[in-house]
Structure 1
Amino acid sequence: MIFALIVIPVLGLFFGVHRYLWCRLVRDTTTPGSRPRRAGTAAAFVLPVLTLAALLAGRAGAPFPLQRALAWPGYLWLALVLYLTLALLAGEAVRAAGLRLLRTREPAEPTPPPPATRAPAREDLAPSPASSPSPCPSPSPSPTLLPAGTPALPPTAPPPRRLFLSRAVAAGASLAATAAVGYGTATTLAGPVVKRVTVPLAKLPRSAHGFRIAVVSDIHLGPILGRAHTRRVVETINRTNPDLVAIVGDLVDGSVADLAPAAEPLRGLRARHGAYFVTGNHEYYSGAGSWVDHVRELGIHPLENARTELPGFDLAGVNDVTGQTEQAGPDYDQALSGRDPSRAVVLMAHQPVTIHDTVRFGVDLQLSGHTHGGQMWPFTYIAAATNPTVAGLERYGDTQLYVTRGAGAWGPPVRLGAPPDVTVVELASLRA
């Protein structure tokens, strides 16, 4: 019941938006019966179905080659829908102003002669189908009512000036949306940039001053981002010459069977004290147990509610909160109990929302991801409303939280307003 209450409105909005796009991009810019009108109408049916197929293929267990074939056009169209809709909504003001200007310049239409006087037939009293409400009302004037028995006139194109206005708004919106999605896709495929941040820790000894942790999250290997993407991430990390690599969840979107070749370059990570991994929510959609085992085979150390001692501080990790559905959620007692409280502790936890539990356990620094920094504007505002920190370093009591924007992308391979990153967190001792 709850599923239906969520899915039905979402699907209604999804197809309603496509109806609006068809009105503004196809109906208002083409003549009835023309080849462009038929092609645009066909695309208005095919593209949303393709997007839904891309979203559902993985969950339905479709063969991985089919998932890859559907993912690129399906997810890129989803991003285009977002920015086309925003651009067209902004263009409505231009459209309205243009129509007002045209009305002042167009000559008045001649008044039609009055119809012959006769008793109205019963069928004449029925409401016309054209008078029913429509999600995108026609820009052309209402047709003149003709006496009964008069042959219906063929549909006509809108006046040339109105057609030009509609085409200009549609072309501008399409150009802006395509440029935004193209730039966002290029940003994603170029790989993460390196950010550097210094975090002072009161308990950190002088001997550990300058310890560098390369923090990476949300790589999201899947039908779109594959082996080449992993190689770019690994090369970026290795160029920073870190002391330790912290992979804080959402490594994959798919099974080990499908994505093991894509994850293989992780074997090449180089750090003086090794690489560590904690699960994210997407691992639990992809077989977390199998991925933990596979990550270990790649030479990376999983921290499943566990802790290890490093020179100068403790490194701990907790499972993602999504693991609670498999009785494998975060266990702070298991990860942190019995440790020396005089030592600094750095905690790897995928989601920033766990920061309040982290504060209660006296953690000095939490490293997280999950938010993607919002990934695509205007989702940055939604990410800010649902997470304590979207990106960057903030303090909560005596605990500091650092959130990376992640190195990949979920869904559309598009990053706009939130470029991907690998962050080198340099620990600083107050005693240095």
Structure 2
Amino acid sequence: MVVLVFVGLILLAHYYLWHRMVRSTTGPGRPRKALTWGMVGLFVLVVGTFVGTRMELAELGHWLAWPGYVWLALLFYLVLFFLVLEVPRAVAGVFLRLAERKRAAAPVLAPERKRSPEPELKPEPVAVLASTAAPVVEETAPVETVPSAEGAAPVEQVAEKVAPPAPLSRRLFLGRATAAVAGLGALSTVGYGITSALGDPVIERVKVTLPKLDPRLGGLKFAVVSDIHLGPLTGKAHTERIVRMINGLEADVVAIVGDLVDGSVAELGALARPLKNLESRYGAYFVTGNHEYFSPGGFAEWIEELGQLGVRPLRNERVEITHQGAVLDLAGVNDLNGTSQGDGPDFDKALGNRDTSRSTVLLAHQPVQVGEAARHGVDLQLSGHTHGGQMAPFSLVVGLQQPVVSGLATVDGVQVYVTRGAGFWGPPVRVGAPPEVTMLELA
């Protein structure tokens, strides 16, 4: 059902775009047919991209990912701009129609003749034989004299009369003007978004005050990163840059809060290898996100792979972080999507039978898991998943599904920090939500 709904929405978006970019800007003929088939090809490209990148079709996915996902972003913003322009387009149409009616209703005044000072003499009628009537000569363009062969008289060449071009119809004028504005807006937005998504993540520095935190734990620093999304559009340099930025923070703990990969270990293992160079005082930890459960090779192979890279998965479990003689409980739960594969979150296992006088930091991929965290007395939850909306105005939709879209908030008495993530999913585009690596300090 999810696949059918997705394909239906993509088909509807392409039809709307065809109506506004092809039908409204062209007349019947070859250009319209060619553009129509081009729109059909773009629809097939989007569907093929999702099939190639979600299934074990690595070669196909790599070929289609860039054009397919970039077109998907353009499709989204073209539809958005056209929808915004529907009202001004309709208003402009009304004004143009009124102007046309006003011009049509205006009386045509004949030019005044100049009176001659002398009385006009009526010419006497002259009989003209039909056979000798003067021929009617049609008005032509100026006559051009063309030189003939040597020694011959020049030949006069009569140019054909050229009709003036027909005025552009109101429909075509509005259609082309709207398409030009929407196209320019979409191209500019996607171009900016690609630059943002492929650029360096922003370092967000956040201080979180936990009321019952042992004073000796004050100043404990977490490097938080999420949604790296290693996949067909990222390279090894993407991981190396993130590792380099995290190491530059000199954190006590590194927390990777899910959605590390979009593929199997066989396909993406080399891209994850730089994670073995992560540096921190008390280690690097990982919890699964929903995309780990979409991996063609299964989530278990990534759990094993990360362990070999020196990143410890917290699978419904907790560890004690001892800092300056004080203890902090660091817990992690699996993502909600693991439930269908028998690997769902278990808060009782992760947080049960602990010393409740100690502060607890929970790693949970989705912010919505804060409800269970509150029931188990968690002080701070670190999450990702939302990408901060990734492409505005998607943040409005994400806000309907998750209690926090990005940043620090308090939900049910639990402080939740949601990172925008350091990568991207689908289109390599971020608008209004730049990639992020967070330096979070406890106080």
Which TM class, normalised by the smaller chain length? 0.7 to 0.9
CA distance in structure 1 between the partners assigned to 2:4 and 2:79 by the alignment: 20
CA distance in structure 2 between the partners assigned to 1:27 and 1:214 by the alignment: 52
Q: How does 1:169-318 map to 2 (within 5 A)?
A: 169-286=178-295, 287-311=298-322, 312-318=327-333
Offset from partner CA, 1:193-243 (integer Å, 9 cap, x none): 010111112332222211110111111111112322212211221221111
1:379 aligned residue: 394
Answer whether contact 1:102 1:162 (CA < 8 A) is retained. no
2:92 aligned partner, one-letter code? G
2:78 aligned residue: 84
1:97 offset after TM fit, Å?
2.7
1:28 aligned residue: 24
1:59 aligned partner, one-letter code? R
1:410 offset after TM fit, Å?
1.2
Q: How does 1:411-430 map to 2 (within 5 A)?
A: 411-428=426-443
1:207 aligned partner, one-letter code? R
Which residue of 90, 93, 104 maps to 1:99?
A: 93
Is residue 15 of structure 1 aligned with residue 24 of structure 2? no
Is residue 53 of structure 1 aligned with residue 64 of structure 2? no
1:249 offset after TM fit, Å?
0.4
Answer whether contact 1:29 1:166 (CA < 8 A) is retained. yes
Structure 2: gaps (5+ residues): 106-164
Q: 1:75 to 1:345 in 2, by over 3 A?
A: same
1:251 offset after TM fit, Å?
0.3
1:367 offset after TM fit, Å?
0.7
1:38 offset after TM fit, Å?
3.9
1:164 offset after TM fit, Å?
3.3
1:236 aligned partner, one-letter code? M
Answer whether contact 2:53 2:65 (CA < 8 A) is retained. no
CA distance in structure 1 between the partners assigned to 2:53 and 2:191 by the alignment: 25
Answer whether contact 1:276 1:300 (CA < 8 A) is retained. yes
Offset from partner CA, 1:358-386 (integer Å, 9 cap, x none): 11111111111111111111211111111
Point out the more displaced range, 10-19 or 163-172: 10-19
Paired residue secondary structure (1:309) = strand
% identical aligned pairs? 53
CA distance in structure 1 between the partners assigned to 2:377 and 2:85 by the alignment: 52
Q: How does 1:99-138 map to 2 (within 5 A)?
A: 99-106=93-100, 108=104
CA distance in structure 1 between the partners assigned to 2:278 and 2:392 by the alignment: 32
Answer whether contact 1:191 1:229 (CA < 8 A) is retained. no
Structure 1: gaps (5+ residues): 110-155
Answer whether contact 2:259 2:292 (CA < 8 A) is retained. yes
1:398 offset after TM fit, Å?
4.1
1:135 aligned residue: none
Point out the more displaced range, 8-17 or 309-318: 8-17
Answer whether contact 1:253 1:285 (CA < 8 A) is retained. yes
Structure 1's consecutive aligned runs of 4 or more residues displaced over 4 angstroms after TM superposition are 6-10
Per the normalisation by structure 2, the TM-score is 0.81
1:160 offset after TM fit, Å?
4.7
1:8 offset after TM fit, Å?
4.3
Q: 1:363 to 1:12 in 2, by over 3 A?
A: closer
Paired residue secondary structure (1:81) = helix
1:264 aligned partner, one-letter code? R
CA distance in structure 2 between the partners assigned to 1:200 and 1:280 by the alignment: 27
2:113 aligned residue: none
2:68 aligned residue: 74
Q: 1:28 to 1:358 in 2, by over 3 A?
A: same
Q: How does 1:391-406 map to 2 (within 5 A)?
A: 391-406=406-421
CA distance in structure 1 between the partners assigned to 2:382 and 2:255 by the alignment: 8
Per the normalisation by structure 1, the TM-score is 0.82
CA distance in structure 2 between the partners assigned to 1:42 and 1:213 by the alignment: 52
Answer whether contact 1:21 1:85 (CA < 8 A) is retained. yes
CA distance in structure 2 between the partners assigned to 1:193 and 1:417 by the alignment: 12
Answer whether contact 1:32 1:157 (CA < 8 A) is retained. no
1:39 offset after TM fit, Å?
3.5
When Rg is computed on C-alpha atoms for both structures, the one with the higher figure is 2
Q: 1:211 to 1:46 in 2, by over 3 A?
A: same
Which residue of 340, 351, 364 maps to 2:355?
A: 340
2:405 aligned residue: 390
Offset from partner CA, 1:292-316 (integer Å, 9 cap, x none): 1101111111111111111231111
